Amino acid sequence: MKTSKHSTSRVADARLIDLPRHRGDNGSLTVIENSGSMPFLIKRVYYIYDVPTDEGRGGHSHHTLEGLMVALSGSFVVTLDDGKDRRAFTLDRPYRALYIPAGIWRTVENFSSGAICMVAASDKFDADDYVRDYDEFKKLTDDK
């Protein structure tokens, strides 16, 4: 496994990114592609949908994986935690992405009806890259 980013990542490193938006009389188009404006090369894309309003997702961090999260439809709240600081982001526009660095704990809650959450990830799925226990996460971030 690559070196974990938990001791160096900060919530302050997360940021909202306005994606290119092309508007026309017949609708809008937003593009996400590997380019100089993206914080990493995209190797995997997945969608989360049909989440009951009272349920949440996430509840983990990654040792090395970075992510870009977008509300394709509806809205939800993403709370990021670096072991010291927390910040909540409401995602509700398909042209606005949240960049989540490696080593940051994330929870996703308050899904509106019909919400679709898309995540573009810096790597393919690797179960060993996940930290799913908050106490373990806290131990990894103790150096902050």
Contact of 100 with 80, CB cutoff 8 Å: yes
User: Which residues are CB-contacts of 136 (< 8 A; sequence separation ≥ 6)?
Assistant: none
Q: Is 60 a catalytic residue?
A: yes
Which strand (E) or helix (H) includes residue 138?
helix 134-140
Residues, the chain: 144
Scan for tokens 């009806």, then name that residue. Answer: 113
Q: Which of 119, 112, 105, 94 is nearest to 55 (CA)?
A: 112
Contact of 85 with 11, CB cutoff 8 Å: yes
Q: Which candidate in 6, 60, 62, 63 is catalytic?
A: 60
Q: Structure tokens of 94?
A: 């398909």
Q: Which residues are catalytic?
A: 60
